[in-house]
Amino acid sequence: MAKTINNQQSTILITGGAGFIGSHVVRHFAQKYPHHKIVNLDALTYAGNLENLRDVEPSPNYFFEKGDIRDAVFLKNLFEKHQPDSVIHLAAESHVDRSIANPLAFVETNVLGTVTLLNAARDSWARGNSSRQPDFEGKRFYHVSTDEVYGSLGEEGYFTEETRYDPRSPYSASKAASDHFVRAYFHTYGLPVVLSNCSNNYGPNHFPEKLIPLVINNIRQGKSLPVYGDGQYTRDWLWVKDHAAAIDTIFHQGRDGETYNIGGNNEWKNIDLVRKLCDIMDELLGQPVGTSQSLITFVKDRPGHDRRYAIDASKLKNELGWEPTVKSEEGFRETAKWYLENEAWLAHVLSGEYQRYYEQQYR
């Protein structure tokens, strides 16, 4: 049935809204801004799951469109149908291990898909505007990216917005290329863009190929917990709903052409994080402390594994006032509980096309 919107203020197209972070962003915007129309465009790959949005579906301001950001004709029709004023672009291939197994898929979606989407926005927003430099007043293209574009840190230091790009995996190279194209559309065509580069997210709906949900799920099933290499690799973990709030802040207050780093100020070495998750799971499952840690298995390292990521998010804090709100202990426990309470979700997402590429390719 068609939905009608009262007091509609603007239409926001969110790509990748059926995925992990995208589903939290869609929920955040649909609930916080009932007068905005939220259009979720997602191809529903192995990583996209509409179950992530069951509670949002009845909202009168929420619309779902299944489609591919690589498909220019589809995008043209979509822009004509919904007339979005802005885009928040999250759709991507997101898993580093899969990019090692199949780099081209990452070029196609993350690079070609992003450029096809930029073209669709530019064409649609410039239409009816005959001047050589169109007036994009009231429009915004928000590109969601990753800290991995900056490469790898040693024991010290942080990534700032000025850090030189140095992507080292096919995934991060594809995201770096997409970031460059977004900035090129700002400089060349005057498209009003804004970007953010964020650290590792965690929380509900995280696909269980990524470290935290994989460990929780494997403990649940009594399977081994694969820790790559020496386990001394470091990531900065951010509660996914804090990321959605940061995107809201930057979307509304960020300056055109600017980039904002987002981080959790929450660094963990992988082995320490896995041990912490083991202890939380033992407690939640009523098992003796140490039961889950016995499942830890050191395995062959990820090729080209980045040693450490750490984000300096002071620009976002000082200019726009955003800070992470959830402490890691609380967030990890919430996450573990969510997976224990959502076994049907886990069974469903793991029953589709998903295959653990890394295991197949590198062991």
Phi, psi of 326 (to 5 degrees): -100, 130
Query: Would you tell me how many other CB atoms lie within 10 Å of the CB of residue 172?
Result: 26
For the chain, the residue count is 363
Closest-by-Cβ residue to ligand NAD is 19
Q: Which does 20 bind (CB under 5 to 8 A by kind): ligand NAD, ligand DAU, none?
A: ligand NAD
Cα radius of gyration rounded to whole Å, the chain: 20
Alpha helices, H only, the chain = 20-32, 72-82, 96-101, 103-106, 114-126, 170-189, 211-221, 240-253, 270-285, 314-315, 328-341, 343-351, 357-362
**Part of the chain binding ligand DAU (CB under 6 A), chosen from 75-83, 208-216, 243-251, 328-336:** 208-216
Q: Does 346 bind ligand NAD (CB under 6 A)?
A: no
Helix or strand or coil: residue 174?
Answer: helix
Q: Which of 211, 281, 310, 316 binds ligand DAU (CB under 6 A)?
A: 211
Position 214 contacts ligand DAU (CB under 6 A) = yes
| Token pair of 60 as six digits | 């009168």
User: Any contact of residue 93 with ligand DAU (CB under 6 A)?
Assistant: no
147 given a catalytic annotation: yes
Q: Is 65 a catalytic residue?
A: no
Q: Which of 40, 61, 94, 99 binds ligand NAD (CB under 6 A)?
A: 94
Tell the smallest beta-carbon distance from residue 176 to ligand DAU (Å). Answer: 11
**Contact status, residue 2 vs residue 37, Cβ threshold 8 Å:** no
Residues 6+ apart with CB under 8 A from 112: 70
Give the shortest CB-167-to-ligand NAD separation in angstroms.
Answer: 12
Q: Cβ of residue 200: shortest distance to ligand DAU, in angstroms?
A: 4
Q: Is residue 200 at the binding interface for ligand NAD, with CB under 6 A as the rule?
A: yes
User: Residue numbers of the site for ligand DAU (CB under 6 A)?
Assistant: 94-96, 146-148, 199-200, 210-211, 214, 226-228, 233, 235, 270, 302, 309
